[in-house]
Structure 1
Amino acid sequence: MLAGLKASFLPPVTVNHPQEYKMSTVMVSPIEEKVDHWQKGRTPTNREYAMKFVTAAMSNMAASGVSNPLDVIKVRQQLRTQVPGSRKNAFWAVGMDMIRKEGLISMGSGFSASMAREVVYSGFRLGAYEFFKDKLYGWSNGALTREGITLKVLAATCSASIGSALANPADLIKVRMQAYYPNGSPYRNMRHAFATVYREGAAASAGSPVLGGLRTLWRGVEATTVRGVVLSASQICSYDQVKQVLKGNGVMQEGVSLHLVASMFAGLFCSLTSNPVDVVKVRLMTDKNREINGVLHCVRTILVKEGPMAFYKGFGMCWGRLGTHTIVSFITFEKLRELFGMEPM
């Protein structure tokens, strides 16, 4: 009887087969341990979404600061109309020519406008990506899976469309400040550039100067938005997908090495897809004399006068700039998320 009472108070003992126990062991990386208080699958709060916006803006500002010289050379290449393949178009020739004629400081052209652009553009396109991903997943009632590429592309399209359209004025000012002017830049600083461009549009539209000024600031918004969507869908989605595949197959664990590999793939892919649209966008934004009548006219003009390869002018610098920007921005983004106690992307 005493033995029976002792047995009734003892907890049940389950003996697992060694092989079964081995299979149930889960390897957790140090980063994942730091954020174990986050519940996977739950909907983040508005404060957490806001923190993602802030960290996305901060990481991309850091990346733009590093890659700004490459961005300036890329813009200069894309504005040249020489035959593709000309040695004068090479990035080293353009860069050396800039330093010789304008000084090393010319590599920092448009820096302030670039920082302002990243706050809005990247804050939305990267910071709001997971917001739209969560919302679209909920609205689809499970029809869109979190692992599927469709949900990622739709989320990136939504976030990039908003960010690109809102940031167009800062993007236009950045390009104007980075362009080459034989008699010296007409812009003293970002504020002066905004005022000058606004007055330029207001003067060209006597009937409605306010609307004319705003139209000038949003010139090329169609190409900007298309480029933003193409770049974000290829960059953010490929980064997300590569991380998912490498982690899911046990090739790599969450950490800087995984972030580096995924961002390198993302940088190459988005450079290939976005360069043609970027060329059109730059041409439209620097067309002060209104010689180009929209995106289609710009595309047709480039094809007829310079050939199809002109859409890949500045690709070396585009890849160098976007590749660097992508690596720095994603690694910084992931590190900031870790510091703020958020789960990895």
Structure 2
Amino acid sequence: MDFLLSGVAACGACLFTNPLEVVKTRMQLQGELQARGSYVRHYRNVFHAFYTIGRVDGLAALQRGLIPALLYQFGMNGIRLGSYGLVESAGYIHTPDGHLSPLRSALAGATAGMLGSIAASPLYMVKTHIQAQSEAEIAVGHQYQHQIFPPGSWLVALSAGMTSSVVVAVAMTPFDVASTRLYNQPVGPQGKGLMYKGLFDCFSQTIRTEGIFGTYKGLGACYFRIGPHTILSLLFWDELR
């Protein structure tokens, strides 16, 4: 029951925060591996991105990818919060004298987050593909014709796990940028392999071409999303329990 309630709570939060996820995805893919100032910035900031997407793609586009996003949140947070709830109920995050152990709690949370992200990784890829799709006028990144559970969807699960385990937006954003780009990466030049070989190669190429600030694209959207999403998820989870 803990797994079910946790998943439902996360889905409730996702209904409110998915538009910020769309904005974040578009901003993180904007100017991918291009030097600053050498490309057209369709999205100047979070608020301009909201306006631009609504004007060009339509207001409904702000909820693009909602179904896979809901399935991802149900799977990922159902496992994450459900697992943590079981560990908490069993008393494993408490010391023998009954006090809460910050270290055990942090380890349990990080482990549960990684397990949830690995299990739901294919849905994150599907969500990213759909959210990146737009009219040619404001297109960024690779515009996939979406397919369910694309090949290789598990290869970047570790990156997603690392992202979910970090709760501070400033620390999380570079991993979030890397996750988005790894999930949405097209085939490289002349069709020879993928654009990125892995997480660290993605960091290296991004910093080399876009500078260190390239790893912080979408920071505003990430910040505005993670706070409300976490609060709403835990609020709904607590009320449902």
Aligned-pair CA distance for 1:177: 0.6
The share of aligned pairs that are identical, in percent, is 25
Distance 1:312 1:80, change over 3 A: same
User: Which among 51, 68, 87 is matched to residue 132 of structure 1?
Assistant: 87
Q: Measure how far apart 1:305 and its partner are.
A: 1.2
Shift of 1:66: 0.7
Task: State whether structure 2 residue 13 is matched by structure 1 residue 63.
Answer: yes
Unaligned runs of 5+ in 2: 188-193
Larger radius of gyration: 1
CA contact (8 A) 1:132 1:159 kept: no
Aligned residue pairs: how many? 224
Please state how far the C-alpha of 1:74 moved relative to its aligned partner. Answer: 0.6
1:224 aligns with 2:160: yes
The 1:181–1:103 alpha-carbon spacing in structure 2 relative to 1, beyond 3 Å, is closer
The 8 Å contact of residues 227 and 278 in structure 1, kept in 2 or not, is answered as: yes
CA spacing shift, 1:52–1:174, aligned 2, 3 Å: same
1:9-48 equivalence runs, <5 A: none
| Aligned-CA RMSD value | 2.5
Cα distance in 1, alignment partners of residues 224 and 68 from structure 2:
20
TM-score (norm 2): 0.84
| In structure 2, C-alpha distance between the alignment counterparts of 1:104 and 1:52, rounded to whole Å | 35
Q: 1:68 to 1:279 in 2, by over 3 A?
A: same
Query: Equivalent residues in 2 for 1:258-337 (5 A)?
Result: 270-289=168-187, 290-337=194-241
How far the C-alpha of 1:288 sits from its partner, in A, is 2.1
In the TM superposition, residue 217 of structure 1 has moved relative to its aligned partner by: 2.0
Deviation of residue 133 (structure 1)? Answer: 4.0
Q: Deviations over 1:14-47 (max 9, x none)?
A: xxxxxxxxxxxxxxxxxxxxxxxxxxxxxxxxxx
Unpaired segments of 5 or more residues in structure 1? Answer: 1-50, 199-212, 235-269, 338-345
Shift of 1:148: 2.1
Q: How far does residue 93 in structure 1 lie from its aligned partner after superposition?
A: 2.1
Aligned mates of 1:306, 1:65 — CA distance in 2: 33
Contact 2:92 2:104 in 1 (8 A): yes
Distance (whole Å) between structure 2 residues aligned to residue 314 and residue 119 of structure 1: 24
Q: Secondary structure at the match of 1:193?
A: coil
Q: So what's the TM-score if we normalise by structure 1?
A: 0.60
- Return the match for 1:149 from 102, 113, 128: 102
Whether 1:77 and 2:13 are equivalent positions in the alignment is no
Contact 2:2–2:86 (CA under 8 A) maintained in structure 1: no
Q: CA deviation at 1:136?
A: 7.4
Distance in 2 of aligned mates of 1:67 and 1:328? 9
Alpha-carbon displacement from aligned partner over 1:246-271 (angstroms, at most 9, x marks no partner): xxxxxxxxxxxxxxxxxxxxxxxx32
> How far apart are 1:181 and its partner, in Å?
4.3
Return the alpha-carbon distance in structure 2 between the equivalents of residues 83 and 106 of structure 1: 27
Matched, 1:106 2:61: yes
Shift of 1:68: 0.7
CA offsets, 1:264-299, max 9 Å, x none? xxxxxx323321110100010010211111111001
Q: Deviations over 1:55-100 (max 9, x none)?
A: 111111000011111110011011112639x794311222222122
Residues 116-147 of structure 1 show CA distances to partners (whole Å, capped at 9, x for unaligned) of: 11111000111211323455728x9839x642
Q: What per-residue deviation string (whole Å, max 9, x for no partner) do you get for residues 197-232 of structure 1?
A: 53xxxxxxxxxxxxxx3xx222421211111222xx
Higher relative contact order (Cα pairs below 8 Å, separated by 6+ residues): 2
